[in-house]
Amino acid sequence: MTHPVLTVGSVAFDSIRTPFGEVSRVVGGAATYFSIAASFFSEVRLVAVVGEDFGERHMQVFGDRRIDLEGLQRVPGDTFRWKGEYKLDLNARETIYTHLNVFQDFSPRVPERFRSTPIVFLANIHPALQMEVLDQIEAPRFVALDTMNYWIDGTPAELERVLQRVDAVVINDEEARQLSGKANLVQAAREIREMGPERVVIKRGEHGVLLTRGDGFFAAPGLPLEEVCDPTGAGDTFAGGFIGYLTAAGDLSDDAVTRAAICGSAMASLSVEDFGLSRLLSLTDEDIRSRFEAFRRLTHFDELDY
Amino acid sequence: MTHPVLTVGSVAFDSIRTPFGEVSRVVGGAATYFSIAASFFSEVRLVAVVGEDFGERHMQVFGDRRIDLEGLQRVPGDTFRWKGEYKLDLNARETIYTHLNVFQDFSPRVPERFRSTPIVFLANIHPALQMEVLDQIEAPRFVALDTMNYWIDGTPAELERVLQRVDAVVINDEEARQLSGKANLVQAAREIREMGPERVVIKRGEHGVLLTRGDGFFAAPGLPLEEVCDPTGAGDTFAGGFIGYLTAAGDLSDDAVTRAAICGSAMASLSVEDFGLSRLLSLTDEDIRSRFEAFRRLTHFDELDY
């Protein structure tokens, strides 16, 4: 039997412009990317909110995947909306607007039968909401959290409290520096561990991932991709592959976490090849396995011999 | 018997300021870093020029290493001088001044007994000088070249001609983008290969190295370092470890090139731990081997298992 993972975060309508094209009002959101990516590995329990404008055809992105939607509330009002634009340097993006809409008054409610979920991923939302969800889970075995500059700056006390209760943070390098106040990532990881999380996972976009392992680090470069179409959701997709793999493995050892980071990297590298969720929605297990092997080919080297 | 490698490039006096301190008028230069790094692996033949101010005590950096100095000219005038400053982001540096001095009228002369050297590294100097050296080598087996934005912009025709005669370029990511006119590194590598070099090695600073391998790429992340003191010469030190290893191995296969890239990365990661040449000058073979193993520990992951 495979273990389930519970996530809370945004389900959204995204409008995205990149140098390669534009899509308008497509389904997105951190919890959506996370859930779909994780569902390739394990059962997912989604806690989120949408508005009345989120119809049956939008629900189809969750399709017949292993995503339990009992915790997805539908309330009066409009769904969360975000519009962003990427220039030629796909590492930088500009937010055109963020309309919280139904997220403004969101009070996450974890359904009774979700409360014993062993693995929890708190996607990037207000740390007070992350805490509300955590309070409803009985004795979680492993809790991971994402956050962003907006909360690090704006709600540091709430963030600090929830960090004390999580096992892993999954953030990008700028966020790691900002959260820790350290420019050097070795020092940043150490500072963050002192805030609570044993495991620090730093996403570096096209430069791959760096995470604490044993008394050192594991690092994987990014896969060089010729066609990067849309980076939206790449970080959440990484988290989905990472936590989804760990959940399925039922193993939190350094070795499992390392393989999980490669799974997350593989999922993210696939996701960016098309707009929004498109690539994720067409993925097969074979695509994932073959991308994992591409990472091995990319990084493998033999014993030194001189 | 180990093969020798010949290099041409700058020997200089550097003044360096970083957030961690300052040194003034210490021996540096691309060919110096390259030669010292490469000499841990193979015999090096140095072609360069210094002025009358470059005395016996400065010569001591070459010490009793396997560096043949017959091609090092001493001429009237001052040695090349460079002063640079790094801010907290050690990836960016500002050049305070560059005084070419004796390099202004440098005409590289390859000693007779160096002319059959099989491996050549053309460090970053005017492409016309790189060509002059190449013209004096009989049937080299493997030629690698470094260059910079100044030559890519300023002397594109000369650079194009010398590129047609080299087997490998060893440049940083910005240079690869500028040389190829492609922002995407997969496309950049392809464009550069069409200019002549079969092998494209892209140095990414703290993000490691990316190089063409087979019909794909090899990538290694940078080693996370807590103490980065001075990045001066890191790229040339990488090239020294990389080409020095290949020279000693007498093997230009994909596997050897991959291991060479890890050796180069190991050497560069050691070099930045102290100012100027200091760390390189105190290095032991055991330091290098142990740093190579640190790269293996950093990047190793097991088969996927799910």
% of chain A exceeding 70 in pLDDT:
98
Calculate the alpha carbon distances from B77 to A28, B9, B50, B81, B102 in Å.
Answer: 66, 18, 8, 12, 6
Nearest to A224 among B217, B225, B301 (CB): B217
Q: Do B304 and A255 touch (CB under 8 A)?
A: no
- Name the residue among B9, B125, B13, B150 with its Cα closest to residue B77: B13
**pLDDT per residue over B15-26, tens digit each?**
999 999 999 999
Q: From CA A12, how far away is CA B236, in angstroms rounded?
A: 48
Strand order in the sheet with B142-145: B67-74, B43-50, B4-8, B119-122, B142-145, B168-172, B199-203, B209-213, B216-220
Distance from CA of A204 to the nearest CA of B (A): 9
- Supply the pLDDT for residue B306: 58
ipTM field: 0.92
Q: List the one residue out of A257, A165, A258 whose CA is nearest residue B300.
A: A258
Could you give the C-alpha distances from A140 to A3, A116, B18, in angstroms and in order? 12, 7, 46
**Helix (H) and strand (E) counts for chain A?**
11, 14
Distance from the A102 Cα atom to the nearest Cα atom in chain B, whole angstroms:
38
User: Does B291 touch chain A if contact means CB atoms closer than 8 Å?
Assistant: no
| Cβ neighbours of B185 in A, within 8 Å | 224
- Report whether A42 contacts A5 (CB < 8 A): yes
- Return the pLDDT at B227: 86
Q: Which of B216, B219, B245 sits opposite A306 (nearest CB)?
A: B245
Name the 3-class secondary structure at B299: helix
Q: Name the maximum alpha-carbon separation found in chain A.
A: 69
* Domain range annotation of chain A: 4-299
**The pLDDT value given to residue B305:** 65
| Tokens matching residue A42 | 């394990």
What mean pLDDT comes out for the span B170-191? 96
Average pLDDT of span B154-164: 98
Torsion angle, alpha carbons of B233, B236, B240, B242, to 10: 120
B297 contact A CB<8A: yes
What is the per-residue pLDDT for A92? 83
- Mean pLDDT, rounded, for B127-134: 97
B283 Cβ contact list (under 8 Å, min separation 6): B40, B270
pLDDT digits (tens, 9 = 90+) for A229-245: 999 999 999 999 999 99
Q: Which of the four pLDDT bands, split at 50, 70 and 90, describes residue A90?
A: confident
- In tens, the pLDDT along A59-80 reads 999 988 999 999 999 999 999 9
pLDDT digits (tens, 9 = 90+) for A31-50: 999 999 999 999 999 999 99
Query: Helices B254-271 & B30-38, crossing angle to 10 degrees?
Result: 120
Cβ contact B82:B11 at 8 Å: no
What pLDDT was estimated at residue A191?
Answer: 98
Is A89 an interface residue toward B (CB < 8 Å)?
yes
pLDDT of the residue at A294: 96
Confidence of residue A305 (pLDDT cuts 50, 70, 90): low
Closest by CA position to B117, among listed B138, B133, B91: B138
Question: Does the CB of A262 have a partner CB in chain B at under 8 Å?
Answer: yes
HSE-CB for B184 with a 13 A CA cutoff: 12
- For residue A144 the two structure tokens come to 């991971």
Q: Helical H runs in chain B? A: 30-38, 56-59, 127-135, 149-154, 156-163, 173-180, 185-194, 234-249, 254-271, 278-281, 285-299
Dump pLDDT digits (tens) for B194-217: 999 999 999 999 999 999 999 999
User: Which of A191, A161, A141, A157 shows the shortest CA–CA distance to A171?
Assistant: A191
Residue-wise pLDDT tens digits, B174-183: 999 999 999 9
Q: With an 8 Å Cβ cutoff, is A207 touching chain B?
A: yes
CA distance A258 to chain B (A): 6
- CA–CA dist B287, B284 (Å, integer): 5
What region, left, alpha or beta, does residue B151 occupy, with left being phi > 0 and alpha being psi -120 to 50 degrees? alpha
- pTM, whole model, 2 decimals? 0.94
Q: Which of B221, B223, B302 sits opposite A221 (nearest CB)?
A: B221
Residue holding tokens 């999580």?
A: A166
- Mean pLDDT, chain B, rounded, equals 95
Tens-place pLDDT, residues A127-148: 999 999 999 999 999 999 999 9
Cβ proximity of A263 and A244 under 8 Å: yes
Closest residue to A221, CB basis, from B183, B219, B301: B219
For the cut 60, the answer to whether the pLDDT of residue A25 exceeds it is yes
Q: What long-range pairs does A90-96 form, CB within 8 A, spacing at least 24? A: A90/A18, A90/A206, A90/A228, A90/A231, A91/A205, A91/A206, A91/A231, A93/A231, A96/A15
B215 interfaces chain A, CB cutoff of 8 Å: no
- Across B125-131, average pLDDT: 96
Contact status of A250 with chain B (Cβ, < 8 Å): no
- What local confidence, expressed as pLDDT, does residue A89 receive? 78
CATH superfamily of B4-299: Ribokinase (3.40.1190.20)
* pLDDT exceeds 60 at position A175: yes
The amino acid occupying position A255 is: D
User: How many A/B residue pairs have CB atoms within 8 Å?
Assistant: 118
Residue of B229, B226, B272, B277 lying closest to B62 (CA atoms): B277
- Residue A205 in contact with partner chain B when CB distance is under 8 A: no
Taking only residues 173 to 192 of chain B, the set having a beta carbon closer than 8 angstroms to any beta carbon of chain A reads: 183-187
Average the pLDDT over A111-133 and give the result. Answer: 97
Helices and strands counted in chain B (H then E): 11, 13
Q: Three-state DSSP class for B296?
A: helix
* Whether the predicted pLDDT of B2 surpasses 80: no
